[in-house]
Structure 1
Amino acid sequence: MSLITQLKDAQKDAMRNKEKERLGTIRMVMAAIKQREIDEKIELDDEQVIAILTKMVKQRRDSQSQFEQADRPELAAKEAAEIEVIEAFLPQPLSEEEVASLIANAIESTSAEGMQDMGKVMAVLKPTLTGRADMGKVSGQVRAALNK
């Protein structure tokens, strides 16, 4: 079942169960997906939807930390609740060991020898890790592995 279908089913369930906050978050996700589809005149596949969801989670984490710094716990809690709903539709995150193993395999398969090969390694890793690991951290780990 596609991710968009899962979102639509979850939206219907939230309506039936009168889960106002969950419904609002799912509608916001659906609106972001529809906006991108209209802007680019395409139908999104699961990988593109995962990219949107990942971006939304990252935005909410940034907002949550800013609200906590500004001593606004009620707004930070709202962001945390939205993160929880959105993450339910993302694939399970990979552990540090799994990411390290995938990085080592990618370096070996591309015969990468230095920083000049980082693009090749990241190109191999991106389809596997998108939505399952923080690509910024992965990039740092790849850089560290290539500098050895």
Structure 2
Amino acid sequence: MTLKTRINEDVKAAMRARDAKTLSTLRLLLAAIKQREVDERITLDDDAIVAVIGKMLKQRRDSITQYAAAGRKDLADAEQFESELLGAYLPASLSTEEIVEAVAQAIAETGAASPADMGKVMAQLRPGLAGRADMSEVSRLVKMRLVAGA
């Protein structure tokens, strides 16, 4: 079953269960997927859908931080619920050790020697780690390794 099919089935289940919060979040996700398909005139595969979900999760994390800082626990809780629901559609996250190993391998494969080569390393890592690791954390690890190596 494709990820898009799974999301559509979950929308139907939420409708049957009259779960308004889940239904609303899943409809937002389907709208984001549809918008990207229309904009790019393509049908998204599972990897592209994972990228859409990752972008939505990043937005939710930023919103949670802002709402918490503003003292709006009700809004932060709503964003947290959406974040958890969307996160269920992502593949299993990689451990820190696996990410460090992937970074080391990508640096070796690209022959990166300085922070100026960071773009090459990230381009090598992005397809394999997108949706399975926090890319800002991956970027931080790459930068640390390249600075230490320079």
**TM-score, structure 1 as length reference:** 0.94
Name which of structure 1's ranges 108-117 and 41-50 shifts more when overlaid on structure 2. 108-117
Unmatched runs of 5 consecutive residues or more in structure 2: none
Distance apart, 1:103 and its partner CA: 0.5
Q: Deviations over 1:8-65 (max 9, x none)?
A: 1111111122221111100110011111111221111111111111111111111111
Structure 1 runs (4+) greater than 4 angstroms displaced:
none
Letter in 2 for 1:83: S
1:29 aligns with 2:29: yes
Aligned-partner SS, 1:90: coil
Please say which of residues 33-42 and 105-114 is displaced more in the overlay: 105-114
Q: Distance in 1 between matches of 2:82 and 2:115?
A: 38
CA distance in structure 1 between the aligned counterparts of 2:60 and 2:142, rounded to whole angstroms: 26
User: RMSD of the TM alignment (CA)?
Assistant: 1.2
Q: Give the alignment's TM-score, normalised by structure 2.
A: 0.92
1:63-74 equivalences under 5 Å are: 63-74=63-74
Letter in 2 for 1:94: L
| Whole-angstrom distance in 1 between the partners of 2:111 and 2:120 | 9
Q: What stretches of structure 1 of length at least 5 have no aligned partner?
A: none
Question: Take 2:94 and 2:27, find their aligned partners in 1: how far apart are those partners?
Answer: 27
- Aligned residue type for 1:50: V
- Give the CA deviation at 1:117: 2.6
